[in-house]
Structure 1
Amino acid sequence: MGTPLGDFIRAKRDSIQPESLGLPVHGRRRSPGLRRLDLAARSGISVEYLTRIEQGRDRNPSVAVVNALADALSLDPAERDHLRYLAKITGGECSVHTRPAPPRRDVRPTVLETLRLLEPGIAVVTNRLGDILAHTSGYESVMSGTGLLAADAPNLTRYLFTDSRARTFFVDWEDVADEQVFDLWLAPSVENSEWFTAELAPTAGPDFTRRLNGHVVPRRGALRLNHPSGCELRLLRETLELSSDAQQLVVLLPADEVTAQAVDRLHRRSPVRLRAIS
């Protein structure tokens, strides 16, 4: 049985063309990407050791080996951080798994007060699982009519993969889906992530499981929305980490004047108040 660390290394190795690293192409090959032999040589480790890491038979590579693999795969800073994180959680996996409780959903009063100060802006408190924990009236105005906030305990990840409206609402659905699934690796805890993915996988289907096992580090750009009112919105995102709570405060800012005017119209049409979701 593999591990997240081994899956990520193998996925990156498969995605690299040898010629991009100045390596010769050895005729027709049965599998894509970089050969284990080449990656092992570039990392200064044996093929046997690399095979054990990829197959999950070695779960505790040293920091030096992890860094060497990152160099050999030419990982960018975000991918290096992800590799180090996977090495950490893979080495700390337990042999006995119990079903953990879901993460806490309460939001500190000072964070709620910060949301109030941001009114009528577009802001939301969430966690890496995608749980929507509190939001401003501006956020509700933008999300009105999409179905995202209709559930008693709304969750963006679940909405993306189980509600057909999401694929119309998010212009760049593929990119947003990549982001949400990647963030599961940074969930409040490894146990929370395992609990959530086990619950979601049966209904989310292969679009979800393929992303979860692919470890694609997303490139986060402007958020483009096809609002049900007929306007397209372009929003920039600023994320403030609330590390002690394992939560994030996400502020969405109009990227252009057309979006700013559309947001203003939506807010005047839907005068609602700050909401915390317990």
Structure 2
Amino acid sequence: MGTPLGDFIRARRDSIQPETLGVPDHGRRRSPGLRRSDLATRAGISVEYLTRLEQGRDRNPSVAVVNALADALGLDLSERTHLRYLTKITGGECTAHPRPEPPRREVRPAVRETLRLLEPGIAVLTNRLGDVLARTSGYELLMGAAGLLDAEAPNLTRYVFTDPRARTFFADWDEVADEQAFDLWLGPSVENTEWLTAELAPTAGPEFTRRLNRHLVPARGVLRIAHPSGHVLRLLRETLELSSDAQQLVVLLPADDATAQALDQLRHRAPGRLRAIS
């Protein structure tokens, strides 16, 4: 049985074109990407040890080995952070977990007050599993027509993967889906993530599990929304991490004048209330 760490190493190895790292091509390959022997040589470890890591038979690599693999794979800062995180949770998988259960949904009064001060802007409080815990009226205006908030307990991850409206609402649905799947690895706990993935997998199908297991670190560029009103909105996302709460506050800002004007029209207000961010 594999592990998140092994899955990530294998996925990154398969995605690398050998010539980009100066590795000579020795002929036909049984699988795409970098050979296991080539990666082991670059990282200074044995092929046997790398095989055990990828197959989940070794769950506790040293810091030196993790850093060597990061260098050998040419990981950027975000990918290195994710590799270290997967090493941490993989090493703890041998211990017994409590029964998976839904994450807590409490919101501190100070956080609610922060959202109130952001009115009438577009802001939402979520956890890494995608639960919408609190939001401004501006967020309701933006997302209400999409159907996300129809559920009694809205969840953005569930919406993206199971509601057909999401595929047209998010102009770059593939990128948004990658983001939501990746964020599950950063959930409040392994147990909570297991709860949501077990719930989602039967309905979201292979489209969800494939994205979850390839560990693609998302770029998180401009969010493009094809709003049911007919406007195509381009939004910048400013994310504030509330690490002690395992929550994040996301503020959406217009990326251009056309989006700012469209949002003003949605609010039935005179243009100029929201300025584009240059």
With the shorter chain as reference, the TM-score category is over 0.9
CA distance in 2, matches of 1:176, 1:71: 28
Q: Which residue number corresponds to residue 140 of structure 1?
A: 140
Q: Which residue of 2 aligns with 1:272?
A: none
Paired residue secondary structure (1:144): helix
Higher relative contact order (CA 8 A, sep 6+): 1
Report Cα offsets for 1:105-157 as digits up to 9, x if no partner.
Answer: 11111100000100000000001100000000000111121100000000000
Q: Identity of paired residues, percent? A: 80
2:149 counterpart SS class: coil
- Which letter maps to 1:189? S
CA contact (8 A) 2:144 2:150 kept: no
- TM-score normalised according to structure 2 size: 0.95
In 2, Cα distance between equivalents of 1:188 and 1:65: 27
Q: Which runs of 5+ in 1 are unaligned?
A: 270-278
Normalised TM-score (structure 1) = 0.95
Q: Partner of 1:113 in structure 2?
A: 113
Measure the CA separation in 1 of the matches of 2:248 and 2:55.
34
1:39-78 to 2 correspondences below 5 Å = 39-78=39-78
1:7: which partner in 2? 7
Alignment of 1:122-271 (within 5 A): 122-268=122-268
- Supply the distance in 1 between the matched residues of 2:112 and 2:98 (Cα, whole angstroms): 33
Give, as a single letter, the amino acid of the residue that structure 1 aligns with 2:219.
R
SS at match of 2:159: helix
Q: RMSD of aligned C-alpha atoms?
A: 1.0
Q: Is the partner of 1:240 in helix, strand or coil?
A: strand
The answer for the alignment partner of 2:273 in structure 1 is: none
SS of 1:87 mapped into structure 2: helix
**Is 258-267 or 216-225 further displaced after alignment?**
258-267
Residue 77 of structure 1, CA deviation: 0.5
- Could you tell me how far 1:265 is from its partner in structure 2? 1.8
Q: How much does 1:95 deviate?
A: 4.9
Task: Name the SS for the 2:81 alignment partner.
Answer: helix
Alpha-carbon separation, structure 2, partners of 1:120 and 1:136: 7
Residues of 2 paired with 1:217 and 1:26: CA distance? 30
Letter of the structure 1 residue corresponding to residue 167 of structure 2: R
Is 1:31–2:34 an aligned residue pair? no
1:264 positional shift = 1.6
Q: Write the letter of the residue equivalent to 2:195.
A: W
| Post-superposition CA distance 1:228-277 (Å, at most 9, x none) | 010010100000011111000100001111111111221239xxxxxxxx
> What SS is found at the alignment partner of 1:184?
helix
